[in-house]
């Protein structure tokens, strides 16, 4: 009895691992965030398995049933639409329930959006903090304000239609000259990575229609002695 956490590609389907393919073929059931989207991936991989919808709207109700099925001998894999389950996606509740019941949990290494965005940013990667999605309304500014003195590189997820607003809020609390990068459509044909100050990035994205998932990486708060090191004030482009 085991729960497998299986990362899926964030864009390029070649990013699935051989081990992930083997596990998905061997399990009795696949839990999917969206069975329609996952069905496309499984068809591409020639995997014909039963799927069960497991997402943020039903996971509180289904964790007990699923964990019981695993305890009774079934091998079940959890996947999401893209990336690693549990990272800004469903997974935590089921993993916690399985651990509480003494069920083995095995998480495969694989795709996740924030790692390539962080590395690609050119900002320090020795220490960083992953903040995921900011609150959409209540508590949003409070959360940003609490990070004003954060010295580590900060990583955020954001939706396309809130990107400019987020950059403007970061400018308000972190300052217009703070170095940052914005990555979108990672691993896909139109991947884009933009680096510069928060002001430069906000001005750039105000002029275009943005699509795809967004990762924002922001330089941590530096002391006056370190403020100029590694500064990249000109907007760079890598496509």
For 161-187, what is the mean pLDDT? 97
Q: How many CA atoms lie within 13 A of 127 on its CB side?
A: 5
Question: Which residues are 215's β-sheet partners?
Answer: 157, 183
Q: For residue 103, name the pLDDT band (cuts at 50, 70, 90).
A: very high
Q: For residue 233, name the pLDDT band (cuts at 50, 70, 90).
A: very low
- What fold, for 2-107? Cobalt-precorrin-4 Transmethylase; domain 1 (3.40.1010)
Lowest-confidence range among 43-47, 53-57, 134-138, 181-185?
134-138
Q: For residue 224, name the pLDDT band (cuts at 50, 70, 90).
A: low
For 181-199, what is the mean pLDDT? 96
- Please say whether the beta carbons of 114 and 155 come within 8 A: yes
- Please say whether the beta carbons of 160 and 222 come within 8 A: no
Average pLDDT, the chain: 93
pLDDT above 80 (res 227) = no
Cα(174)–Cα(154) distance, rounded to whole angstroms?
Answer: 12
Per DSSP, helices labelled H in the chain are: 18-26, 35-44, 59-71, 92-100, 114-121, 140-146, 163-174, 198-205
pLDDT above 60 (res 23) = yes
Classify each residue of 135-149 as buried b or exposed e, where b means 16 or more C-beta atoms within 10 Å of its C-beta.
eeeeeeeeebeebee
Cα(124)–Cα(133) distance, rounded to whole angstroms?
Answer: 21
pLDDT above 50 (res 7) = yes
pLDDT score recorded for residue 177 = 97
In the chain, domain spans: 2-107, 114-238
- What fold, for 114-238? 3.30.950
pLDDT score recorded for residue 136 = 86
Classify each residue of 5-24 as buried b or exposed e, where b means 16 or more C-beta atoms within 10 Å of its C-beta.
bbbbbbbeeebbbeebeebb
For 80-103, what is the mean pLDDT? 96
Output the pTM of the full model.
0.89
Secondary structure of 26-57 in HEC code, one letter for each residue:
HCCEEEECCHHHHHHHHHHCCCCCCEEECCCC
Cα(64)–Cα(191) distance, rounded to whole angstroms?
Answer: 39
For 155-171, what is the mean pLDDT? 97
Q: Is the sign of the CA dihedral 94, 99, 105, 107 positive or negative?
A: positive
| Residue 154 CB coordination number (10 Å) | 24
pLDDT above 60 (res 181) = yes
Token reading at 128: 């960083």
pLDDT score recorded for residue 137 = 83
pLDDT digits (tens, 9 = 90+) for 124-162: 999 999 999 999 888 999 999 999 999 999 999 999 999
pLDDT score recorded for residue 166 = 97
- CA 38-162-223 angle, to 5 degrees, is 110
pLDDT score recorded for residue 196 = 98
pLDDT digits (tens, 9 = 90+) for 48-67: 999 999 998 999 999 999 99
Q: 52 burial class (0-12, 13-18, 19+ CB within 10 angstroms)?
A: middle
Going from the C-alpha of 236 to that of each of 97, 153, 201, 211, 217, the distances in angstroms are 45, 19, 10, 19, 14
Cα(150)–Cα(65) distance, rounded to whole angstroms?
Answer: 41
């Amino acid at each position: 009895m085991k729960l497998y956490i299986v990362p899926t590609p964030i864009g390029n389907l070649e990013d699935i691992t051989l081990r992930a393919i083997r596990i998905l073929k061997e399990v009795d059931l696949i839990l999917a965030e969206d069975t329609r989207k996952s069905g496309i991936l499984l068809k591409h991989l020639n995997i014909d398995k039963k799927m069960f919808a497991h997402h943020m709207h039903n996971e509180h109700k289904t964790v007990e049933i699923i964990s019981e099925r695993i305890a009774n001998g079934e091998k079940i894999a959890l996947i999401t639409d893209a990336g690693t389950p549990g990272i800004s996606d469903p997974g935590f509740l089921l993993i916690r329930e399985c651990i509480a019941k003494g069920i083995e949990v095995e998480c495969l290494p694989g795709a996740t959006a924030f790692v390539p965005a962080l590395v690609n940013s050119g900002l320090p990667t020795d220490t960083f903090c992953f903040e995921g999605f900011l609150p959409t309304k209540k508590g949003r500014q409070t959360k940003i304000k609490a990070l004003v003195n954060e010295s580590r590189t900060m990583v955020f997820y954001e939706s396309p239609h809130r990107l400019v607003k987020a950059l403007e809020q970061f400018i308000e609390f972190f300052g217009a000259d703070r170095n940052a990068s914005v990555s979108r459509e990672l691993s896909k044909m139109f991947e884009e990575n933009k680096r510069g100050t928060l002001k430069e990035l906000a001005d750039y994205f105000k002029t275009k229609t943005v699509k795809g998932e967004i990762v924002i990486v922001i330089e941590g708060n530096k002391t006056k002695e370190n403020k100029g090191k590694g500064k990249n004030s000109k907007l760079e482009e890598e496509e």
